[in-house]
Amino acid sequence: MSDDRNLPAVPDDDDIVEGEIVEDEPGQDQAAAPRPVAVVRAVVTDKRTQAAGRHMVYVVLGLVVGVRRLRKSRSTSRYDRWLRAAELSGDWDKVLELEARRTVFRRDRHAWRMDWLAAPGRVAQQLPWRILRKLRCCPWRAGHLAKAIHVLQTRETTR
């Protein structure tokens, strides 16, 4: 069933209006659009924008300070600085103590870095055993389990 009461979209009467298309005057659109310089000036001079910019600068400077402190805490520069001060004051017992502390720091730092380098390998080695332990089976049965899982998955995908 079609409803023909809204058709045709253009009525059949001869009430056609004749007219002429008039172009806008040149320069009329340009005057209405804001100038980019004025927009930038308005944004930059706004107090809220200035406060947000100042806050961003503080955050960046805080990050820089934090990175510097972290870098210095992981280097031997403080021990070197203490050693120079002890040498200038002529305190040779302090110099020997600081050299020993610097050596211990370097050894600990090296061990820490090597642990971080070896950690992914240790995790990769331990992971399969943990999975098998949770399944409560020996590694020799892992092949049979993998085959059974594969069969079940292929059966699910072929349905």
Tens digit of each residue's pLDDT (9 = 90 or more) over 71-111: 888 888 889 999 999 999 999 999 999 999 999 999 999 99
Query: Residue 157: what pLDDT?
Result: 77
Residue 52, phi then psi, degrees to nearest 5:
-65, -40
Percent of the chain with pLDDT over 70: 72
* Residue 151: pLDDT band with limits 50, 70, 90: confident
Rounded Cα–Cα distance for residues 75 and 71 (Å): 6
Rounded Cα–Cα distance for residues 98 and 104 (Å): 10
pTM, to two decimals: 0.43
Rounded Cα–Cα distance for residues 123 and 49 (Å): 48
∠ CA 100-101-103 to the nearest 5 degrees?
65
What are the residue ranges of helices labelled H in the chain? 28-32, 36-45, 47-73, 77-89, 92-135, 142-158
Please tell me the least confidently modeled range out of 11-15, 102-106, 155-159: 11-15
Q: In this model, does residue 38 exceed pLDDT 70?
A: yes
CB–CB of 75/105 below 8 Å? no
Q: Which residues contact 135 (CB under 8 A, 6 or more apart)?
A: 145
Query: Residue 107: what pLDDT?
Result: 94
Tens of pLDDT, residue by residue over 111-132, are: 988 998 888 878 777 776 666 6
Percent of the chain with pLDDT over 90: 31
Rounded Cα–Cα distance for residues 106 and 74 (Å): 9
